[in-house]
Amino acid sequence: MNRLVVCLARWSGRLLPLLPLIWLLMPDQASAEAGIPAVTLSPTGEEGAQTYSVTIKILLLMTALTFLPSAVIMMTSYMRIVIVLGIVRQAIGTPQSPSSQIINGIALFLTFFIMAPVLQKANEEALQPYLSEEITAEQAVQRAQGPFRLFMLAQTRETDLALFASLGGREGFESPEEVPFSMLVPAFVTSELKTAFQIGFLIFIPFVVIDLVVASVLMSMGMMMLSPMLVSLPFKLMLFVLVDGWSLLIQTLAASFQT
């Protein structure tokens, strides 16, 4: 009996300093019963307007962020730029220089430069009014689609748009605003792929000519064991530097998006 009393006294002495911490960690019964509503309804006039709580907005925002890389690649000028830069690297004959990180960085910042007017317009018409609580999130999304829609329509071929319209069974749009995003984005991607490979083809031709000339000279000299790519690489680099190739390439890419 005495041992039991001594043990209880020891444990009570150890647990006594932890009582405030245990009290803080205990859930508030009132708040647990109340909970956070998933959807709140705020009536406006005769019809009630449905709005989402903060927790649902955070969940939707985190879900939307997972699609942000795909949106940057597929709905901006990034895809055309990175494809052309990759083709130029392959045409010169240096598959590891510049590295993929450098090419992606150049394409990303050049995309920011080209898309600056579109982003600024979307910021003025959608983001700032939403942050000022003048419009709802749904209205902000609808307004933000406008500048991107105009940009993509300006770069999309009518044949590609007609192709996806026929595949989707929806033809005869009277105005660009009637074209849904689900149809505009794949048409824009298809047009960007065509344009990027057309630019890459035109850039590739001078380097192919240099390779043919070097290969013909080596064959005429009987030096068949020597790789033509190894000999032509310095000449291609010299040609690219003498014509200021990087400036011309970036200027061509930026000018190709002007309408």
Give the 3-state secondary structure of residue 210. Answer: helix
- 39: pLDDT strictly greater than 60: no
- 52: pLDDT strictly greater than 70: no
Q: Which pTM was predicted? A: 0.71
30 vs 150, which has greater pLDDT?
Answer: 150
- pLDDT at res. 62: 75
126: exposed, middle or buried (Cβ count in 10 Å: 0-12, 13-18, 19+): buried
Amino acid letter, residue 67: F
Q: Answer whether 103's CB lies under 8 Å from 250's CB.
A: no
DSSP codes of every residue in 139-203: HHHHHHHHHHHHHHHHHS-HHHHHHHHHHTT----SSGGGS-HHHHHHHHHHHHHHHHHHHHHHH
172: Cα separation from own chain's centroid: 30
Least confident stretch, 1-10, 64-73, 96-105, 125-134: 1-10
Q: Answer whether 93's CB lies under 8 Å from 236's CB.
A: yes
Q: How far is residue 53's CA from residue 38's CA, in Å, rounded to a whole number?
A: 6
Q: Answer whether 156's CB lies under 8 Å from 191's CB.
A: yes
- pLDDT at res. 194: 92
pLDDT bucket at 6, cuts 50 / 70 / 90: very low
